[in-house]
Amino acid sequence: MPTHSTASRAIDIPADGRSDFDFFPGKWDVNHRRLQRRLAGDTNWDVFGGTCEVRPLLGGLGNVDDNVIELPHGAYRAATVRTFDPTTRQWSIWWIDGRNPLTIGVPMRGAFVDGVGTFLCEDVLDGRPIRVRFLWSEIEQNTARWEQAFSQDGGTSWETNWVMEFSRQL
C-alpha cells in the first residue's frame, strides 16, 4: 500500500491558517514579565519564570497547553485551548486559570498575517469595558514571544501588561 511522505503531507495541508500554531507543540521554559497593576499608569513589573507543555488536538485544528506560572507570591497552573475554524480562517483562544477553574475567559479571536498572530476580544476590567489584544511574534523553531495588551479607548492606544518569552526545552 503506498504511503505519503512527510513532504507530500505538508503540501496537502491547506494554506488557510490551520498550521499557524504548528511551531508550538512541545515543552517550553517561559520568562514572564507582567505589570503589577493594569491600566493604572503603573511602571512596576514582576519578572518570574514558568513552564508550558503544548499538545495538538482535533487532528491539527487545535491545541492545548498546560502552564505552571511561578508568580512572586506563589505558583499556579493555567491552561489555554485554541481551535481553528476553517470557514472563517480564524483561531479562537480560551484561557483557564487554575485558581478559578470553573470560569473560562472570553475567547480571543484572530489570525496570523506575515508571521504575527493578532487576537482580540472585548472584556471587562474592574467594571470597565476594555479591549484585549494578544500578539504572537518572533516565532522561530525554539523561541517565540507572546504579549498581552489592554485598551480602554476602543483600541486607539494600548498598554502592554504581560510578556512571555518562550524557549523550547531541548
Give yes or no for a contact between 92 and 117, defined as CB atoms under 8 angstroms apart: no
List pLDDT tens digits, range 107-146: 999 999 999 999 999 999 999 999 999 999 999 999 999 9
58: in domain: yes
CATH code, domain with 163: 2.40.128.20
Task: Compute CA distances 150 → 13, 122, 141, whole Å.
Answer: 34, 10, 28
Q: Which domain holds residue 25?
A: 15-168
Task: For 153-164, write each residue's pLDDT tens digit.
Answer: 999 999 999 999
Does a structural domain hold residue 8?
no
Considering the domain boundaries, does residue 4 fall inside one?
no
Give how many domains the chain has, as a whole number: 1
Phi/psi of residue 8, nearest 5 degrees: -70, -30
Beta strands in 105-158 (DSSP E): 108-113, 116-125, 128-137, 143-151
Q: Check pLDDT > 70 for residue 64.
A: yes
The string of pLDDT tens digits covering residues 73-109 is 999 999 999 999 999 999 999 999 999 989 897 899 9
